Amino acid sequence: MENVIKIDLQKLLASNQLIELELGCGVRTVPGRINIDRIDLPGVDIVCDLEAGLLFIPDSSVDIIYANSFFEHVYNFEGLIREIVRVLKPNGKCVLSVPHFSNPYYYSDYTHKRFFGLYSFYYFVDEKYQLSRKVPSFYVNTRIKVLSIRYKFTSRLPVLNRLKQWLSIIINASSAFQEIYEENFCYLIPCYSLEVIFAPDMQEYN
């Protein structure tokens, strides 16, 4: 599909203001951010197919990228991570939320292409910076630093929701607790989503 850019992107990138992208914004457009979606909805600044990347964004030009419930809709996950690392400034970061694989609601949405676990983003991290359970880091050259990863628990029932908030505090207290939970208890007490923050790691695997 042909990109439709409704803002003066070059002028904005040349300015001194904070450059923030909102990927897959849908109807949740955010003022002050460059809102991007493949559907031309009200408030969308750039209409494009993000499966093809962010080719209209120069290298190292973006401060923050947000993606709320978007990555599960993407086929080309590896390519999009590569593009995010390319366009982020060295001190930039990506803040995102994705469904956890134990979330029962995930399977109801036929547009979902993938789900995520605690280790999903560590496949882009050098082994020495991974958790106690190591995953292969040789699949791709793209490298990131996982700055934060947290489980989010929620329930439609108020009593259960309060209990899950306390559970969230305990499980997210350490990466060891997170690993124990995902290996042993995630189907007993399902997690709603993962909230992840990562930054580009400029040293690539050779």
The average pLDDT across 175-190 equals 96
E strand segments, 48-175: 62-68, 88-99, 144-152
Band of pLDDT at residue 76, cut at 50, 70 and 90: very high
Q: Do the beta carbons of residue 102 and residue 190 sit within 8 Å?
A: yes
Which of the residue ranges 72-76, 185-189, 194-198, 200-204 would you say has the lowest mean pLDDT?
200-204
Task: Decide if pLDDT at 78 tops 90.
Answer: yes
Q: What is the pLDDT of residue 203?
A: 52
Exposure b/e, 23-34, CB count within 10 A at least 16 = b: bbbbeebeeebb
For the whole model, what pTM was predicted?
0.93
Q: What is the pLDDT of residue 202?
A: 67
3-state class (DSSP) for residue 63: strand
Q: Whole-angstrom Cα distance, residue 32 to residue 22?
A: 10
Share of the chain above pLDDT 70, in %: 98
Q: Whole-angstrom Cα distance, residue 11 to residue 50?
A: 22
